[in-house]
Chains A and B, each alone.
Chain A
Amino acid sequence: DAGVIQSPRHEVTEMGQEVTLRCKPISGHNSLFWYRQTMMRGLELLIYFNNNVPIDDSGMPEDRFSAKMPNASFSTLKIQPSEPRDSAVYFCASSRNRWETQYFGPGTRLLVL
């Protein structure tokens, strides 16, 4: 079975541009999570969805970040406008339900110049 799929794997953009990260969870998984990994802050949860509904977005840094899950097989994380401090690896993870093990995608390495 395919694991969590993320695209793009690498993104380089200029400050002020809009960035959209995409995630396809494992088929049959009802919960989806977005994490960010930086040297300064380590791995931190940004937002998670259960059955396509956002449950906890307390980790979203500010209004420049938004996430959607229009259906069970697709989610996006958007940054508009992007800033250099947004440079990080963004991971998407999914689990069968919100209490089960989270399986991570390969990550998107974002560099904002």
Chain B
Amino acid sequence: AQKVTQAQTEISVVEKEDVTLDCVYETRDTTYYLFWYKQPPSGELVFLIRRNSFDEQNEISGRYSWNFQKSTSSFNFTITASQVVDSAVYFCALSEPKTSGSRLTFGEGTQLTVNP
């Protein structure tokens, strides 16, 4: 079974639209960490955010916001007023210290294209 599911393979929006990228995870650990990384066309992996399982507060950073809901095992990422520079592949990842040590388990990624 997939531990991290990003059901949206590709999303295409027009600039200034809001867009939400979904992430659903599966774990039996009580302590775990969730991450989002961005992979722009240049190929590097850029860290965006890290949340631990005990902190369900939503987070906002500029145009980016994250909604963590343990009840639905989801950690969704919203970009407000999208820009062309947001075009990238976005990965959600899970760390389960008890089960998997320091390994990051990645979802398959969502390709976001923002058109001008």
- Measured CB to CB, the residues of A under 8 A from B are 31, 33, 35, 42-45, 48, 50, 55-56, 59, 89, 91, 93, 95, 98-99, 101-107, 109
Does B102 count as interface, using CB distance less than 8 angstroms? yes
Inter-chain CA distance A98–B101, complex, in Å, is 8
Does B43 count as interface, using CB distance less than 8 angstroms? yes
B74-109 to A contact mask, C-beta < 8 Å, 1/0: 000000000000000001000101000111101111
The answer to whether A104 and B43 have CB atoms under 8 Å apart is no
The answer to whether B106 and A31 have CB atoms under 8 Å apart is no
**Residue of chain B at shortest CB distance from A102:** B104
The answer to whether A98 and B102 have CB atoms under 8 Å apart is yes
Contacts of B95 in A (CB 8 A): 99
Inter-chain CA distance A56–B97, complex, in Å, is 12
Known interface pairs A31-B102, A98-B101. Does A104 touch B108 (Cβ–Cβ under 8 Å)?
no
Q: How many contacts between A and B, using CB within 8 angstroms?
A: 54
Closest chain-A Cβ to B91's Cβ sits at a distance in Å of 7
The answer to whether A104 and B101 have CB atoms under 8 Å apart is no
The answer to whether B44 and A104 have CB atoms under 8 Å apart is yes
**Residue of chain B at shortest CB distance from A45:** B103
Does B16 count as interface, using CB distance less than 8 angstroms? no
Known interface pairs A42-B108, A42-B109. Does A106 touch B101 (Cβ–Cβ under 8 Å)?
no
| 8 pairs of residues in contact across A and B, judged by CB atoms under 8 Å | A35-B104, A42-B107, A42-B109, A89-B43, A93-B45, A99-B102, A101-B50, A102-B102
Contacts of B33 in A (CB 8 A): 99
Contacts of A91 in B (CB 8 A): 45
Contact among A50, A89, A98, A101 with B35 in the assembled complex (CB-CB below 8 Å):
A101
Contacts of B107 in A (CB 8 A): 42
List 15 additional A-B contacts (Cβ < 8 Å) besides A44-B106, A98-B101, A106-B44: A42-B106, A42-B107, A43-B91, A45-B103, A45-B104, A48-B103, A50-B102, A55-B102, A56-B103, A98-B102, A99-B95, A101-B50, A102-B104, A103-B47, A104-B37
